[in-house]
A and B are shown apart, each in its own frame.
Chain A
Amino acid sequence: MDVSMLLQFLANGVSVGLGYGLAAVGLALVFGILEQVNFAHGEIYMVGAFTLWFLGQSAGVPYWLGYPVMVVAMAAFGLLLAEVVFLPTLHRPFETVILATLAVSIILQNLVRLVFGATPLHIDSPLDGMTLELGGVLFFGQRIFVSVVAIVALAGLVAFLRRTETGRAMRAMAQNKDACLMVGIDIRRVTRITAAAGAALCALAAGAMAPMFDLYPNMGTDVVFKSFAVVIIGGMGNISGAMLAGLLLGVAESFASGMLGATYRDGVGFTLMIIMLLLRPQGIFGKSVRV
Chain B
Amino acid sequence: MRKPALLYALAVTLALGATAPSLAADIQIGFPGPISGPASFLGQQMKWGAEQAVEELNQRGGVLGRKVSFIMQDSQCRPADAVSAAQKLISQDKVDVLLGDLCSGATMAVMPLAEAAHKPMIVSISTLPEITDKAGVGGNKWVFRTVPDDRMLASVIGTQLAQTKTISFIAEDTDYGRSAVKLVKARLGAGAKVVSEDYVKNTETDFLPVLTRLRSTKPQALAIFMLDQQGFNLMKQYTQFGLKMPLVARPPLLAPLAKSLLATGKFDGSWTVYPYFDQYSSPANDAFVKPFVAQHKQGPHYVAYGVYESIMVAADAIRRAGSTDPDAVREALRKTDYKGILGPIAFDDHNQSHNNLMFVKVEHGKLAVKLIPSQ
Taking beta carbons and an 8 Å cutoff, which residues of A are in contact with B? 2, 4-5, 8-9, 12, 16, 113, 117-120, 129, 131, 138, 140, 212-214, 216, 218-219, 222, 253-255, 257-259, 261-263, 265-266
Does B209 sit within 8 A of A, measured CB to CB? Answer: yes
Task: Identify A131's interface contact among B39, B205, B212, B240, CB under 8 A.
Answer: B240
Closest-CB distance, A266 to chain B (whole angstroms): 7
In the complex, what distance in Å separates the CA atom of A81 from the CA atom of B217? 50
In the complex, what distance in Å separates the CA atom of A83 from the CA atom of B207? 40
In the complex, what distance in Å separates the CA atom of A258 from the CA atom of B196? 11
Are the C-beta atoms of B40 and A5 separated by less than 8 Å?
Answer: no
Are the C-beta atoms of A5 and B37 separated by less than 8 Å?
Answer: no
In the complex, what distance in Å separates the CA atom of A113 from the CA atom of B34? 14
Task: Return the 9 tightest CB-CB contacts between A and B, nearest first.
Answer: A258-B209, A262-B198, A213-B205, A257-B209, A119-B41, A118-B40, A5-B216, A12-B208, A8-B212
In the complex, what distance in Å separates the CA atom of A263 from the CA atom of B233? 18
In the complex, what distance in Å separates the CA atom of A119 from the CA atom of B41? 6
Across chains A and B, the number of contacting residue pairs, with CB separation under 8 Å, is 83
* A-B contacts, 7 listed (Cβ < 8 Å): A8-B208, A113-B36, A138-B241, A140-B240, A212-B205, A257-B210, A258-B210
Are the C-beta atoms of A254 and B209 separated by less than 8 Å?
Answer: yes
- Residues of B contacting A9 with CB < 8 Å? 209, 212
- Residues of A contacting B200 with CB < 8 Å? 262-263, 265
In the complex, what distance in Å separates the CA atom of A40 from the CA atom of B209? 29
Closest-CB distance, A59 to chain B (whole angstroms): 22
Does B69 sit within 8 A of A, measured CB to CB? Answer: no
Does B38 sit within 8 A of A, measured CB to CB? Answer: yes
Are the C-beta atoms of B203 and A222 separated by less than 8 Å?
Answer: yes
Are the C-beta atoms of B205 and A218 separated by less than 8 Å?
Answer: no
Are the C-beta atoms of A262 and B204 separated by less than 8 Å?
Answer: yes
Are the C-beta atoms of A120 and B229 separated by less than 8 Å?
Answer: yes
- Residues of B contacting A4 with CB < 8 Å? 216
Task: Identify A263's interface contact among B38, B173, B240, B241, CB under 8 A.
Answer: B173
Closest-CB distance, A222 to chain B (whole angstroms): 6
> In the complex, which residue of chain A has the Cβ closest to the Cβ of B239?
A129
In the complex, what distance in Å separates the CA atom of A214 from the CA atom of B41? 15
Taking beta carbons and an 8 Å cutoff, which residues of B are in contact with A? 36-41, 170, 173, 196-201, 203-210, 212-213, 215-216, 229, 233, 236, 239-242
- Residues of A contacting B201 with CB < 8 Å? 266
Are the C-beta atoms of A218 and B203 separated by less than 8 Å?
Answer: yes
Are the C-beta atoms of B212 and A118 separated by less than 8 Å?
Answer: no
Given A218-B38, A254-B209, check contact A2 B216 (CB 8 Å).
Answer: yes
- Residues of A contacting B203 with CB < 8 Å? 216, 218-219, 222
Task: Identify B38's interface contact among A5, A118, A131, A253, CB under 8 A.
Answer: A118
In the complex, what distance in Å separates the CA atom of A54 from the CA atom of B233? 21
Are the C-beta atoms of A118 and B41 separated by less than 8 Å?
Answer: yes
Task: Identify A254's interface contact among B40, B208, B239, CB under 8 A.
Answer: B208
Of B40, B200, B212, B241, most A-chain CB atoms within 10 Å: B212
> In the complex, which residue of chain A has the Cβ closest to the Cβ of B196?
A261
- Residues of A contacting B197 with CB < 8 Å? 261
Are the C-beta atoms of B36 and A118 separated by less than 8 Å?
Answer: yes
Are the C-beta atoms of B198 and A263 separated by less than 8 Å?
Answer: yes
Are the C-beta atoms of B199 and A5 separated by less than 8 Å?
Answer: no
Are the C-beta atoms of A261 and B198 separated by less than 8 Å?
Answer: yes
> In the complex, which residue of chain A has the Cβ closest to the Cβ of B212?
A8
In the complex, what distance in Å separates the CA atom of A138 from the CA atom of B238? 12
Closest-CB distance, A260 to chain B (whole angstroms): 9
> In the complex, which residue of chain B has the Cβ closest to the Cβ of A113?
B36
In the complex, what distance in Å separates the CA atom of A216 from the CA atom of B41? 12
- Residues of B contacting A218 with CB < 8 Å? 38, 203
In the complex, what distance in Å separates the CA atom of A263 from the CA atom of B209? 11
- Residues of B contacting A140 with CB < 8 Å? 240
Are the C-beta atoms of A8 and B38 separated by less than 8 Å?
Answer: no
Are the C-beta atoms of B215 and A118 separated by less than 8 Å?
Answer: no
Task: Identify A16's interface contact among B36, B40, B206, B240, CB under 8 A.
Answer: B206
> In the complex, which residue of chain A has the Cβ closest to the Cβ of B227?
A120
Task: Identify A5's interface contact among B39, B41, B204, B212, CB under 8 A.
Answer: B212
Are the C-beta atoms of B36 and A214 separated by less than 8 Å?
Answer: no
Closest-CB distance, B124 to chain A (whole angstroms): 21
- Residues of A contacting B241 with CB < 8 Å? 138
- Residues of A contacting B240 with CB < 8 Å? 129, 131, 138, 140
In the complex, what distance in Å separates the CA atom of A213 from the CA atom of B208? 13
Given A4-B216, A117-B40, A129-B240, check contact A12 B209 (CB 8 Å).
Answer: yes
In the complex, what distance in Å separates the CA atom of A73 from the CA atom of B208? 32
- Residues of B contacting A253 with CB < 8 Å? 209
> In the complex, which residue of chain B has the Cβ closest to the Cβ of A3?
B216
Are the C-beta atoms of A262 and B212 separated by less than 8 Å?
Answer: no
In the complex, what distance in Å separates the CA atom of A113 from the CA atom of B197? 34
Are the C-beta atoms of B216 and A214 separated by less than 8 Å?
Answer: no
In the complex, what distance in Å separates the CA atom of A178 from the CA atom of B197? 56
Closest-CB distance, B30 to chain A (whole angstroms): 22
Task: Identify B210's interface contact among A118, A212, A216, A262, CB under 8 A.
Answer: A262
Closest-CB distance, A261 to chain B (whole angstroms): 5
Closest-CB distance, B103 to chain A (whole angstroms): 14
Are the C-beta atoms of A118 and B37 separated by less than 8 Å?
Answer: yes
- Residues of B contacting A2 with CB < 8 Å? 216
In the complex, what distance in Å separates the CA atom of A179 from the CA atom of B77? 54
- Residues of B contacting A12 with CB < 8 Å? 208-209, 212
In the complex, what distance in Å separates the CA atom of A2 from the CA atom of B218? 12
Closest-CB distance, A113 to chain B (whole angstroms): 7
- Residues of A contacting B198 with CB < 8 Å? 257, 261-263
In the complex, what distance in Å separates the CA atom of A212 from the CA atom of B204? 11
- Residues of B contacting A131 with CB < 8 Å? 240, 242
Of A4, A118, A213, most B-chain CB atoms within 10 Å: A118
> In the complex, which residue of chain A has the Cβ closest to the Cβ of B37?
A118
- Residues of A contacting B199 with CB < 8 Å? 261-263
Of A131, A253, A258, A259, most B-chain CB atoms within 10 Å: A258
Closest-CB distance, B66 to chain A (whole angstroms): 35
- Residues of B contacting A263 with CB < 8 Å? 173, 198-200
